[in-house]
Amino acid sequence: MEPSAGSALPHAEPVGRTLAEERARNSHQINAFRFQAVTAFGARAPARRLSIPLIDMPVIFLLMQDLMVRLHAGGYHADADAIAFHAPVYYVLFLMLSVLSLEPVHILLATAIAVGLETRLGVLARFDLAKLLVSALATACGGVLSAFVSRSALQLIARVSHEQVRRERLGRYFSPEVTRHLEQHGDLAAAGESREVTILFTDLRDFTATSERLASTEVVAMLNDYHSRMVEALFAHGGTLDKYLGDGLMAYFGAPVPQADHAERAVRCALAMQQALAGLNAERGARGEVSLRMGIGIHTGTVVLGDVGARRRREYTAIGDAVNVASRIEGLTKLLGVPILVSEETRRQVGASIAFVPAAPVRVAGKAEPLQTFTPATTVPATSAAS
């Protein structure tokens, strides 16, 4: 799932914090190589990263300039010229240290200052124009190359972070098979598309009463165990996790990868979820814990799929009347005392591959006619799912 322009923001802040921490660490490393202590100028982090071009390089220039003047005054002209000749070596070393700032702009600033200072030393040594140009060009090339390397490293970090966030999002919502398909083909319409899917809602019965008798840590552990088993069953049938709803969840089949049998997948997933819940209840019973009951509602219809939400936080989700109908059908499982209910459209698309038993028609909000629903004939007993 490719994040949209808005959804790409969540990973930018962690990357920025990581780079800031790395730059701070590198600043301490740079200071270990410096020739004088950081003055009050370097009290702030941005100033510390500029200490090389604005403090170290000028100080070295003043030291070499003073030494050259003294050597010239003493008649040691060759030694003075040697200092100017080797000056680019020192400044290139400073440029290499400036790479640790991870700031291409700072590296280019250091390059410009280094070229200017070493040129000034060359003028004092009365170098000819060709030697001055070669020295300046060599330093400039080294600085530009260092800035390019730093910029490339930053881009690589951003790409790796983006890919990691993308993979985490894919793994959270989609089954491994769907994730591999999306990574290979990338056919996810984040901007929005209409598609027929089968929506599935689950909900634990009497969860509030059950949770009130437990400690907060026990409630979280119970929900994590429950959701882990439900999502495992969901992904095993190629479903997409839309969102967690506290003690329930919303999922759908047939998107983002088309599935011709999405209705049947949803029903078989619901049966597998009830079986998984029965296994969980067996373990809970052995520990003397209360059993959990769950209702599942399923409906097939056309929805709008896409990244929905605020600019800083979006999620790939399904919206539309079909979603509302599926949610209301899930609510009917408690009223009718059955663990699973499917709509007439879902039953029709499943066909003869699964046997169904009709439930009593019930009026629901937003529908003029009573809603006809069905329960799979192979479902587990109602006493294990809803009261």
Q: Tell me the pLDDT tens digit for each residue of 189-244.
A: 555 789 999 999 999 998 988 888 899 999 999 999 999 999 999 999 999 888 99
State the pLDDT at residue 353: 93
How far apart CA 130 and CA 291 sit, in angstroms, is 88
State the pLDDT at residue 51: 76
State the pLDDT at residue 305: 87
pTM score, whole prediction: 0.60
Q: Mean pLDDT across the stretch 117-137?
A: 84
Terminal C-alpha separation, the chain: 39
Residue 215 class from Cβ within 10 Å (0-12 exposed, 13-18 middle, 19+ buried)?
exposed
Given a cut of 90, whether residue 329 has pLDDT beyond it is: yes
Given a cut of 60, whether residue 10 has pLDDT beyond it is: no
Q: Mean pLDDT across the stretch 83-106?
A: 79
Given a cut of 90, whether residue 343 has pLDDT beyond it is: yes
Given a cut of 90, whether residue 348 has pLDDT beyond it is: yes
State the pLDDT at residue 164: 65
Given a cut of 60, whether residue 111 has pLDDT beyond it is: yes
State the pLDDT at residue 90: 80
How far apart CA 371 and CA 337 sit, in angstroms, is 16
Tokens of 215: 């400690």
State the pLDDT at residue 352: 93
Q: Mean pLDDT across the stretch 331-344?
A: 95
Band (pLDDT 50/70/90 cuts) for residue 303 is very high
State the pLDDT at residue 162: 66
| pLDDT over 90, % of the chain | 37
- Locus of tokens 């049998």: 261
State the pLDDT at residue 325: 95
Which residue pairs, CB below 8 angstroms and at least 24 apart, start in 72-80?
80/125
Q: Mean pLDDT across the stretch 39-50?
A: 50
- Looking at 83-97, 176-190, 247-261, which range is the least confident one? 176-190
CB-CB contact of 239 with 269 (8 Å): yes
pLDDT higher at 73 or 349: 349
- Looking at 21-25, 40-44, 148-152, 206-210, which range is the least confident one? 40-44
- Looking at 223-237, 296-310, 366-380, which range is the least confident one? 366-380
Band (pLDDT 50/70/90 cuts) for residue 34 is very low
State the pLDDT at residue 7: 43
pLDDT higher at 52 or 267: 267
